[in-house]
């Protein structure tokens, strides 16, 4: 069984729900869990961070539990990149959760079977969350492919993870190319501007860099036709997510591994809907265009 990495910070109730749900998964008792508990960013967070750690120490139902308590605040991006780097070298593949993700009982089964099924392919990662898009009635598979990675309950392999350029060394060549930007945005028109914000220090996101790594490698991500993940963190309690009903999705308890789609199965209708799901408003598109053109102008000066 592939080990599960869980990244937690200062939300004890969310952490409790996450761990309890995972412990009810089929195969949980054979699964090793490594919890990365980030250190407090400020004194006001100390009590909640310590409460989260107490919750983690009490959890049972897994093969083995390791708790890595950071002595300082790494922040989500550095915590995930560092933790995955460390564990994926040991195990060859990892399954990753954050503290606000509630898994269906079939989550571990789906992830492990997908990692085995797609291992020797162009697939870059596996995701257990699926946005609420319409799957065509004539689509016969239990999974589909998208050019965009998913960060809510995901897995990958060492050889794919090591392809990611976390420093974005080729960013300027990419951002100058309209064709490259359009290809990247096949997964959603928010991606290029997010990468720009990452490069200019406006945000600190491991996920958009992982998405860019997938794009550069010509890879795709596997999604289930129905979600095995519910995000309890879209209640306004998190640092990076405002309260929203947008990401509610139809939940299932299992995915039929006998109907996994082959690694080259591209359904244009699904990809179009997927990209549209992450599409920005007309106003936001205009604002992003101005920001992009301003950056490109400065590159020429």
What would the two tokens of residue 300 be? 């020429």
What would the two tokens of residue 32 be? 């090793």
Residue 237 has pLDDT above 60, yes or no: no
Residue 235 has pLDDT above 80, yes or no: no
User: Which pLDDT score is estimated for 90?
Assistant: 96
Give per-residue pLDDT as tens, 191-210: 999 999 999 999 999 999 99
Residue 241 has pLDDT above 90, yes or no: no
Of residues 27 and 248, which shows the higher confidence score?
Answer: 27
Residues in contact with 270: Cβ distance below 8 Å, sequence separation at least 6, in sequence order? 133, 135, 136, 139, 144, 146
With a pLDDT cut of 70, the percent of the chain lying above it is: 95
Helices (H), 92-205: 107-117, 158-161, 171-176, 178-184, 191-199
Residue 243 has pLDDT above 70, yes or no: no
Residue 242 has pLDDT above 70, yes or no: no
Q: The domain that contains 227 carries what CATH number?
A: 3.90.550.10
User: Which pLDDT score is estimated for 233?
Assistant: 72
User: Which pLDDT score is estimated for 203?
Assistant: 97
Residue 59 has pLDDT above 60, yes or no: yes
Q: Tell me the pLDDT band of 180, cut-offs 50, 70 and 90.
A: very high
Range of the domain at 96: 4-300
What angle in degrees, to the nearest 10, is found between the helix axes of 191-199 and 282-300? 40
Q: Tell me the pLDDT band of 290, cut-offs 50, 70 and 90.
A: very high
Q: Is 182 exposed, middle or buried (0-12, 13-18, 19+ CB in 10 A)?
A: exposed
Residue 230 has pLDDT above 70, yes or no: yes
Q: What is the mean pLDDT of residues 272-300?
A: 94
Rounded to whole angstroms, the Cα distance separating 99 from 156 reads: 19
Q: Tell me the pLDDT band of 139, cut-offs 50, 70 and 90.
A: very high
What secondary structure does DSSP assign to 192-259, as a single string? HHHHHHHHTTS---HHHHHHHHHHHTT-EEEEESSBSEEETTTTTTSSS----STT---B-S---GGG
User: Which pLDDT score is estimated for 234?
Assistant: 65
Residue 64 has pLDDT above 70, yes or no: yes
Residue 190 has pLDDT above 80, yes or no: yes
**SS3 for 273?**
helix
Domain count, the chain: 1
Rounded to whole angstroms, the Cα distance separating 70 from 40 reads: 9
Q: What is the dihedral of CA 101, 105, 109, 115, to 10 degrees?
A: -20
User: Which pLDDT score is estimated for 153?
Assistant: 98
Q: What is the mean pLDDT of residues 271-294?
A: 95
User: Which pLDDT score is estimated for 280?
Assistant: 93
Q: Is 292 exposed, middle or buried (0-12, 13-18, 19+ CB in 10 A)?
A: middle
Residues in contact with 70: Cβ distance below 8 Å, sequence separation at least 6, in sequence order? 36, 37, 38, 39, 79
Distances (CA, A) of 246 to 218, 249, 271: 29, 9, 18
Residue 248 has pLDDT above 80, yes or no: no
pLDDT, the chain, mean = 94
Q: What is the mean pLDDT of residues 42-71?
A: 97
Q: What is the dihedral of CA 8, 14, 15, 18, to 10 degrees?
A: -110
Distances (CA, A) of 226 to 36, 256, 258: 28, 11, 15
Residue 103 has pLDDT above 60, yes or no: yes
Rounded to whole angstroms, the Cα distance separating 73 from 77 reads: 11
Residue 115 has pLDDT above 60, yes or no: yes
User: Which pLDDT score is estimated for 236?
Assistant: 55
Nearest to 230 by CA among 130, 147, 133: 130
Q: What is the mean pLDDT of residues 151-166?
A: 98
Residue 5 has pLDDT above 90, yes or no: yes
């Amino acid at each position: 069984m592939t080990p599960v990495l869980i990244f937690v910070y200062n939300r004890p109730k969310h952490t409790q729900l996450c761990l309890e749900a995972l412990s009810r998964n089929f195969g949980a008792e054979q699964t090793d869990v490594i919890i990365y508990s980030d250190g407090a960013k400020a004194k006001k967070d100390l009590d909640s961070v310590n409460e989260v750690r107490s919750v983690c120490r009490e959890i049972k139902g897994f093969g083995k539990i390791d708790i890595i308590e950071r002595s300082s605040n790494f922040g989500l991006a550095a915590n995930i990149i560092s933790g995955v780097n460390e564990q994926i070298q040991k195990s060859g593949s990892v399954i990753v959760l954050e503290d606000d993700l509630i898994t269906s009982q079939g989550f571990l089964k789906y992830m492990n079977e997908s990692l085995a099924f797609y291992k020797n392919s162009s697939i870059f990662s596996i995701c257990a969350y699926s946005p609420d898009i319409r799957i065509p009635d004539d689509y016969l598979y239990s999974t589909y492919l998208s050019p965009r990675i998913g960060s809510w309950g995901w897995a990958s392999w060492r050889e794919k993870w090591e392809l990611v350029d976390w420093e974005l060394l080729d960013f300027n060549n990419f951002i100058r190319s309209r064709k490259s930007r359009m290809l990247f945005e096949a997964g959603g028109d928010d991606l290029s501007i997010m990468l720009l914000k990452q490069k200019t220090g406006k945000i600190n996101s491991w996920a958009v860099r992982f998405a860019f790594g997938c794009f550069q490698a010509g890879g795709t991500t596997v999604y289930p036709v129905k979600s095995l993940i519910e995000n309890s963190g879209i209640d306004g309690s998190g640092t990076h997510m405002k309260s929203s009903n947008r990401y509610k999705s139809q939940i299932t308890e299992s995915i039929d591994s006998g109907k996994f789609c082959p690694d080259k199965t591209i359904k244009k209708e699904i990809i179009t809907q997927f990209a549209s799901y992450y599409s920005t408003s007309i106003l936001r598109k205009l604002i992003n265009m101005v920001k992009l053109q301003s950056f490109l102008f400065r590159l020429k000066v």
